[in-house]
Amino acid sequence: MASPETRKRPNILITGTPGTGKSTVGQQVAEKLGFDFIEVGKVVRENHLYSEYDESYQCHVLDEDKLLDHLETRMDSEDGGVVVDYHGSDFFPERWFDFVIVLRCNNTLLYDRLKARGYDDRKIRENIECEIFGSLLEEARDSYKAEKVHELTSEVASQLEENVDYITELARTWKPS
Condensed to tens digits (0 to 9), the pLDDT of residues 53-108 reads 888 877 889 999 999 999 999 999 999 999 999 999 999 999 999 999 999 999 99
Is 19 annotated in some ligand binding site? Answer: yes
Q: Which of 24, 38, 28 is nearest to 105 (CA)?
A: 24
- pLDDT value for 54: 86
Domain 12-170 sits in CATH at 3.40.50.300
User: Quick one: residue 175, left, alpha or beta (phi over 0 = left, psi -120 to 50 = alpha)?
Assistant: beta
- pLDDT value for 58: 75
Is 158 annotated in some ligand binding site? Answer: no
Is 88 annotated in some ligand binding site? Answer: no
Is the per-residue pLDDT at 177 higher than 80?
no
- pLDDT value for 104: 98
d(Cα 131, Cα 116) in Å, to the nearest integer?
17
- pLDDT value for 56: 80
User: Which residue type, as a one-letter code, is found at position 11?
Assistant: N
Q: What is the pLDDT of residues 10-67, one digit of tens each?
A: 999 999 999 999 999 999 999 999 999 999 999 999 999 999 988 887 788 999 999 9
Is 173 annotated in some ligand binding site? Answer: no
- pLDDT value for 134: 96
